[in-house]
Amino acid sequence: ETGVTQTPRHLVMGMTNKKSLKCEQHLGHNAMYWYKQSAKKPLELMFVYSLEERVENNSVPSRFSPECPNSSHLFLHLHTLQPEDSALYLCASSQDVGGAFFGQGTRLTVV
Amino acid sequence: LAKTTQPISMDSYEGQEVNITCSHNNIATNDYITWYQQFPSQGPRFIIQGYKTKVTNEVASLFIPADRKSSTLSLPRVSLSDTAVYYCLVGDGDTGFQKLVFGTGTRLLVSP
């Protein structure tokens, strides 16, 4: 238990569906992150929120839309995804220079 | 961001000490060095973080020479459950967050 909880753990969605991934952290951290990890590839940083403001957006397609309503919650809204978007999506949080703590991830399959 | 270089893979046996070295020649003054462990289909787990000299916790030790251009993660007496990918990251937390960019890491295989 890392203090970062992601739901759902598994998600199968069609290419025309809209779904959302949720992340919640109970650590009082001031930054939250979304990462994507495809099979056999390194983690790719997608978005960073610091003090609830988006500070990093690494050329992620617009079919991925993040939302950070408060310092404890982070969402990733998904719509019209492609099969190549199937991956493990990981949320993390950190405080200043401290290490980041990751959730268990959401295994997403796009069919 | 300082780039890091690690061996792609390492093999060890149960009970041995494992040392994984990471090179970060372009580390900046404000950068910290952090190591993570990742098992398949799970999120990375924070292991240890340091700025200089030596840091030790209940899991590992981190050795950082004076020039800080490299660091070594030391895992004492590894077990089969230490088989995982280990990542070395260098980041600056001055901005209030860390742009944590993961490389390919070091795949450690511990055998009986």
Taking only the tens place, the pLDDT of each residue in A74-108 is 999 999 999 999 999 999 999 877 788 999 999 99
More confident residue, B6 or A97: B6
Using CA atoms, how far apart are residues B77 and A77, in angstroms rounded to an integer?
A: 44
pLDDT at B22 over 90: yes
pLDDT at B1 over 70: no
Chain B residues in contact with A92 (beta carbon < 8 A): 43-44, 100
pLDDT at B6 (0 to 100): 95
Average pLDDT over residues B72-84: 97
Instruction: Tell me the count of A-B CB pairs closer than 8 A.
Output: 72
In the sheet that holds B18-23, the strands lie side by side as B18-23, B70-75, B61-64, B53-56
Using CA atoms, how far apart are residues A95 and B33, in angstroms rounded to an integer?
A: 15
Of A43, A51, A100, nearest to B98 by CB-CB distance is A100
Tell me: the pLDDT tens digits for A47-67? 999 888 888 777 899 999 999
More confident residue, B106 or B32: B106
Of A45, A98, A103, nearest to B43 by CB-CB distance is A103
Distance from CA of A7 to the nearest CA of B (A): 13
Asked if A103 and A7 count as a contact pair (C-beta separation under 8 A), the reply is no
Using CA atoms, how far apart are residues A7 and A79, in angstroms rounded to an integer?
A: 17
**Long-range contact pairs involving B23-29 (C-beta distance under 8 Å, separation at least 24):** B23/B69, B23/B70, B24/B68, B24/B69, B24/B70, B24/B71, B24/B88, B24/B90, B25/B69, B26/B2, B27/B2, B27/B68, B27/B69, B27/B90, B28/B2, B28/B92
**How far is C-alpha B9 from the geometric centre of its chain's CA atoms?**
13
Tell me: the pLDDT tens digits for A9-50? 999 999 999 999 999 999 999 899 999 999 878 899 999 998
Alpha-carbon Rg of chain A, whole angstroms? 13
Return the structure tokens found at A10: 């598994």
Distance from CA of B16 to the nearest CA of A (A): 27
pLDDT at B93 (0 to 100): 56
